[in-house]
Structure 1
Amino acid sequence: MSATSLSRSFAPIVHSAAEWRAEMARLTRPGQPSFFHIRAQLPMQGRTNQVLGASRYMNVVLKTYASGGENEIHAHSNEDHVFVILQGRATFHGPNGEAREAGRNDCVLLPAGVFYWFQAKEDDEPLVILRIGAHIDPDSDVLARIDLEGKPFDGYSEKNKEVPVVLHEDRIFE
């Protein structure tokens, strides 16, 4: 391992599941450790995903959501994942009206197949989440997700409340 310092540049924002998969493939380094720095330009509108590290069995993604940003109810069929909230607050919802608020340093573990959605708290600072995923079957699509009817569900779709991202010029999370 080199003693050089970690880069303080921004990891690229991925804009589709295909870009997410390509970034995981690019970052996978069998038999070698991966080093990365948590740093994001914060959104005024929309949300971002930055793949920070990946292996055959895991991936680490930095997610940001503008105030009030949300997604639609879904489940990941081939991945357990955990959210670690680094900044902001969100309310997590289940399929039967369950709701739980989580804030800085709170964590949520979601086993594969568990339906959920969340919304960043309105009028709060942008939500910053570290997402760590573990593949159930690394030979199947780790980004596979389904809706309540069991149909494939694109996380980058309008149905998932995707809106164009607008970044703050000078607001950085680090």
Structure 2
Amino acid sequence: MSTSTKSAAPIVKNTAEWLSEMERLARRTTPSFFHLSCQLPKAGRTNQVLGATKMMSVVLKTYAEGGENELHAHINEDHFFCILQGRAKFYGPNGEEREVGKNDCVLLPKGSLYWFHAIEGEPLVMLRVGAASEDETDVMARVGADGQPLDGYSEANKEVPLVLDADRWFE
């Protein structure tokens, strides 16, 4: 299949777009179906919201390098990552480290502090499933180690400008 005929969910470029896409998808009252397909980045990262309900979301995430580079916690959501391609190293607040690769998963209860980075080599591709801890909460709310808000798309989180690789896809 040529890249011109490939189809993928839109890449969200900031927190507001992520929330808007989750709200749009959560309006469905019938089953949602999606295919894990994404254009890989040469630099930066992508987030594609594949499906959502009021209390749960499924996001395909890719990283050419870097990651969630500042220690942070999601205060209203449990979530997990399943590594589909590449490798990453996850870190905890007390010097904990764990390297993960294909088919490894990481479960993060709300409030748990962590950060991670992609390990050099092939781009990191992860499936992220999040579950709101309560109805009507901001599932995108996250705080740094100091307890202050930390937007995932901010310079403080070491956001790298996205450059897509026209010829490389994950499926």
Instruction: Report the TM-score range of the alignment, normalised by the length of the smaller protein.
Output: over 0.9
1:51 match:
49
Letter of the 1:154 partner, please give it: D
Unaligned runs of 5+ in 1: 1-6
Q: 1:160 aligns with which of 157, 160, 166?
A: 157
- TM alignment of 1:112-131, pairs within 5 A: 112-122=110-120, 124-131=121-128
Query: CA shift at 1:70, angstroms?
Result: 2.1
Per-residue deviation, residues 55-87 of structure 1 (Å, max 9, x unmatched): 011000000000x32221100000000100000
- TM alignment of 1:1-174, pairs within 5 A: 9-66=7-64, 68-71=65-68, 72-122=70-120, 124-174=121-171
Distance 2:22 2:38 in 1: 18
Letter of the 1:157 partner, please give it: S
Q: TM-score, normalised by structure 1?
A: 0.92
Per-residue deviation, residues 25-68 of structure 1 (Å, max 9, x unmatched): 111145311111110100110011000000011000000000x3
Letter of the 1:79 partner, please give it: E
Q: Given the superposition, is the C-alpha separation of residues 8 and 35 from structure 1 closer, same or farther in structure 2, using an over 3 Å criterion? A: farther
Letter of the 2:13 partner, please give it: H
Q: Secondary structure of the residue that 2:50 maps to in structure 1? A: strand
Letter of the 2:116 partner, please give it: F
Letter of the 1:37 partner, please give it: H
Identical amino acids, percent of aligned pairs: 64
Letter of the 2:128 partner, please give it: R
Letter of the 1:116 partner, please give it: Y
Q: Is the 8 A contact 1:45 1:69 kept in 2?
A: no
Per-residue deviation, residues 115-160 of structure 1 (Å, max 9, x unmatched): 00001002x1000000000001230101000001111111100111
Letter of the 1:74 partner, please give it: H
Distance 2:13 2:29 in 1: 29
Alpha-carbon RMSD across the aligned residues, in angstroms, is 1.2
Unaligned runs of 5+ in 2: none
Q: Secondary structure of the residue that 1:61 maps to in structure 2? A: strand
